[in-house]
Structure 1
Amino acid sequence: MELCITNSTRILNLNSLNRTGLPLSVSLKNSTVEFMNQNYFNSQKLSSFSRQIHLYLHQPQFHRSPVRIFASSSSSVALGPEKDRLPADIEVTESPEPNSTVRLSVEVPEAVCKDSYKRVLNELMKQVKIPGFRPGKIPESVLVGFVGEQNVKKATVESILKRTLPHAMTSVTGRALRDSVRIVTKFSEMEKNYSSLNSLSYDVLVDVAPEVKWNPGNGYKNLKIVVEIDNDTAAQQAAEEELRRRHKSLGSLKIVTDRGLQVGDIAIVDISATTIDEDESNVQNIPDAETKGFHFDTEDGDKVLPGFLDSISGIQRGETKSFRLAFPESWRQEHLRGVQAQFTVECRELFYRDLPKLDDSLAGKLLPGCTTIEQVKETLLQKCREVEQTAKDQATDNAILDQLYKMVEIDIPQSLFEEQGRQLYGAQLLQMQV
């Protein structure tokens, strides 16, 4: 693979590193399933039968050749809490689904269901108090009649799920993504199945680590990437601008009384703008261009609308100027691109900077720990070079990722999209709060 870095006129968008939607920070190989952290089975006791398990029904879109797996009761694979030893093996059929999802069809034999039923009764024996019977000595028929047969069935189904799900997940250990396990069979269907057959079957969907498929085979070996770096990131220029900014912060502002605005001054202005049609009949305000008490630094004139600084040059305190300007096609707000506007600017205050002489006496104020201006310049230059190198590294990563993105096919699991969305939402929420 050949990599070229050139100084051009445009830098790649450093925020596009994850533009493919791939959360690169996720370690797929080390992903594990922690289904017990879900809200399905977070209770260790079966004393309450009113709680509901939220299970979602999902119909398979297509089926391929299933892989039949037998999960042994003696398996020692840990998936969260320690697995309960079962009196018989459960049967798990694994079949692929779209978007790197695997469907596990679980068949629980009658022996496991009966054992779970006995456990539920034993738990009820310890907790239920019936007049005339000692704890633990209540006949089964009396106990079931007191609690309710339907409630006992629900508790048994829940117990079966709680005991068998860790064994069912054995086949996807090491491949399953965190927090992606969901039971898709309705609880009512499982309850009906258990009542009629005294056995249980249910389906589980789990997202697994996606497989990357190369489109051109080994074409990436001859891949050539050119990285474009913006000239504005030059360390020397950035260091000079930073020194100028720090020097300006040490100066004081004084009121201009005998002249108009010139480069280097700071003006406090009120700005209003209206649109202009060709027939000048339809005039509308431009809210995005209106502001009151705007602190306009003339040294930043290249960062505002082109021609704005020239149009107000020479304006004095209390004076108002009106002029026409057109928003360029590259303007950041799309709805204003190419719009002809009539601007009205009123100068409320006008200041000039009284800057101290730039010599060694200011070194410590410009950059703590420095004793000379040359030392300040060298330190700032070194820091800017580090920033420039970081920008080059990020731009290189972006360029490589952009090319690889065109050469691979990958089915992204829905859970990864959701996790990425949660992270972006959280970051945006924090930014809004700040």
Structure 2
Amino acid sequence: MKVTQEKLPDSQIGLEIEIPAEIGKKAYEKMVNNLARTANIPGFRKGKVPRPILLQRLGTRYVKAATLEELLQSSVKEAIEQESIKFIGNYILRSNFEELVGKFSPGEPLTFSATVDVPPSIELGDYKSLTVKAEETVYDPQQLEDWLKEQQEKQATLIPVEDRPAQMGDVAIIDYQGSTVPAEGEEGEPITGVEGKDFQVDLEEGRFIAGMVEGMVGMKPEETKEITLTFPEDYPREDLAGKPVIFTITVKELKAKELPELDDDLAEEISEYETMAELREAKEKEFTETAEESTKRSIHDGLITEFSNICTADLPDTLVQEEVTRVLTQTAMQMEQMGLDLRQLFTQENLPKLRENARPEAVQRLKQTLILQELAKVESIIVDDAALEERINKVQEQLSGQDVDPDKLKEFVAEELLTEKTLDWLQEQATVELVPQGTLKAETEDSEEGETETTIEAEVSENTDD
């Protein structure tokens, strides 16, 4: 079989394949015989249909098309084996099938073109001289105090208050009704859905609509008060977003929080530790490790971004489409956990657009995965069995009670560990500058604002010139 190869973009190989005359004839005769045995032709028993009648009833073009469908598939497979091509996915026919049917004449050679995806080609840049900035997350002792205060709040005893007005930190039981702001000489109308009875409110700053809690400070039990508040612009109900509303609020009960002492009894109540000192030490270690992990993630994010910028990866569409499917699957799982109806979004009409929108993320993720795998291969970075087994056991504990495919779990964990180990190795080679938390985000926002201003200035200048 004569085969000509052509290297194409996106990790594709173009194939021009010539089907020898004898192979085409043999395939055609085989198809005619198969159809003669299986075709239902009125007036004839199966396997007893004369060849001229069969071709007349089915049509020569139909028989040639059926022959070509099998012949093209087998010819591409044979060409791949003959040329020792490492391919992934299925082939794509570049020639027009209808034109091939018209050209196909049993006993004569036929040439057609197809493409196959091959494993991606990766070119690594100078990865041993990377320079990155990363945000450093530093443990703040106030985190521990805030956490302990939160635990005190949860364990607080509510004491009825009758001899003073409401103050910040109290808990109020209220009835409320929201109404429209009336025009002059008219009365406001109650707003459906903006109402509540025996509603518990913690009088703390930032709760509910801005100004509501502050407006209740100073009220006494059984007192009713009207407060005019404005809903935020991003409020979920469009008919209320950014609108002023009059709240009629009645304080039915008022309670003060009596917080427990930060002592050993509280430590035993809220944790497995016997003393507050042990609890403090454990939580401080936890917060410190979380801060260190956050810093490490920032470093790794910076490294993979810079590494991607200096590497090239010719990505075959077969792998891209598989990654698009993974992106959409993860999105669907997240939406389902949020209680959203997937059937409304993932429809046959929406799916092509969803796949198109997911493609940029899929390409980025796929490139990052492949260049890290290539780096691990080049630098002989491997995951040892002990670390793999330890991580698998840890994940299995977290997924206890769930049906998990052990082979897929092992594959996922191995890939995750290899990525971590490769990034750790890359970090050792790189120059890392740690900056305060929030610095890079602020720089990005300033850069985007600058680009926007430049664009606007250019548009203004262009319009002025016109």
User: If the length of structure 1 is used for normalisation, what is the TM-score?
Assistant: 0.56
Matches within 5 A, 1:377-388: 377-388=280-291
Q: Secondary structure at the match of 1:371?
A: coil
Q: Secondary structure at the match of 1:225?
A: strand
What code does the residue aligned with 1:96 have? L
Choose 264-273 or 162-171, whichever is displaced more: 264-273
Q: Is the 8 A contact 2:36 2:46 kept in 1?
A: no
Matched, 1:165 2:73: no
Aligned length, in residue pairs: 318
Change (3 A) 1:310 1:133: closer
Matched, 1:402 2:309: no
Q: Partner residue of 1:150?
A: 61
- C-alpha deviation, 1:91, in angstroms: 1.4
Looking at structure 1, the residues matched to 168 and 134 of structure 2 have their Cα atoms a distance apart, in angstroms, of 37
Matched, 1:428 2:335: no
Matches within 5 A, 1:259-274: 259-267=164-172
Q: Partner residue of 1:224?
A: 131
Change (3 A) 1:305 1:134: closer
Q: Is the 8 A contact 2:61 2:101 kept in 1?
A: no
Q: Secondary structure at the match of 2:104?
A: helix
Q: Secondary structure at the match of 2:168?
A: coil
Unaligned runs of 5+ in 1: 1-88, 276-286
Looking at structure 2, the residues matched to 263 and 222 of structure 1 have their Cα atoms a distance apart, in angstroms, of 56
Choose 388-397 or 421-430, whichever is displaced more: 421-430
Q: Partner residue of 1:359?
A: 263
Looking at structure 2, the residues matched to 291 and 230 of structure 1 have their Cα atoms a distance apart, in angstroms, of 43
Q: Is the 8 A contact 1:320 1:344 kept in 2?
A: no
Looking at structure 1, the residues matched to 84 and 220 of structure 2 have their Cα atoms a distance apart, in angstroms, of 75
What code does the residue aligned with 1:189 have? E
Q: Is the 8 A contact 2:14 2:113 kept in 1?
A: no
Choose 397-406 or 351-360, whichever is displaced more: 351-360
Change (3 A) 1:430 1:253: farther
- C-alpha deviation, 1:118, in angstroms: 3.1
Q: Partner residue of 1:117?
A: 28
Matches within 5 A, 1:208-357: 208-212=119-123, 214=125, 218=126, 220-231=127-138, 234=139, 236-253=141-158, 256-267=161-172, 296-299=201-204, 301=205, 312-316=216-220, 318-320=223-225, 322=227, 346=249, 350-357=254-261
% same residue: 20
Looking at structure 2, the residues matched to 404 and 295 of structure 1 have their Cα atoms a distance apart, in angstroms, of 53
Looking at structure 2, the residues matched to 113 and 252 of structure 1 have their Cα atoms a distance apart, in angstroms, of 89
- C-alpha deviation, 1:236, in angstroms: 4.2
Structure with greater helix share of residues? 2
Looking at structure 2, the residues matched to 90 and 260 of structure 1 have their Cα atoms a distance apart, in angstroms, of 95
Matches within 5 A, 1:28-177: 89-97=1-9, 99-128=10-39, 135=47, 140-170=51-81, 173-174=85-86, 176=88
Q: Is the 8 A contact 1:101 1:205 kept in 2?
A: yes
Q: Is the 8 A contact 1:225 1:400 kept in 2?
A: yes
Q: Partner residue of 2:114?
A: 203
Looking at structure 2, the residues matched to 419 and 221 of structure 1 have their Cα atoms a distance apart, in angstroms, of 31
Q: Is the 8 A contact 2:210 2:229 kept in 1?
A: no
Matched, 1:188 2:98: yes
Looking at structure 2, the residues matched to 188 and 121 of structure 1 have their Cα atoms a distance apart, in angstroms, of 20
Looking at structure 2, the residues matched to 355 and 241 of structure 1 have their Cα atoms a distance apart, in angstroms, of 14
Looking at structure 1, the residues matched to 137 and 251 of structure 2 have their Cα atoms a distance apart, in angstroms, of 38
**1:173-199: CA deviations, max 9, x gaps?**
5464xx475334443223223249562
Q: Is the 8 A contact 1:266 1:296 kept in 2?
A: yes
Looking at structure 1, the residues matched to 22 and 124 of structure 2 have their Cα atoms a distance apart, in angstroms, of 43
Looking at structure 1, the residues matched to 65 and 3 of structure 2 have their Cα atoms a distance apart, in angstroms, of 22
Root-mean-square deviation (Å) = 4.7
- C-alpha deviation, 1:398, in angstroms: 0.9
Looking at structure 2, the residues matched to 308 and 321 of structure 1 have their Cα atoms a distance apart, in angstroms, of 10
Q: Secondary structure at the match of 1:93?
A: strand
Unaligned runs of 5+ in 2: 182-190, 338-466
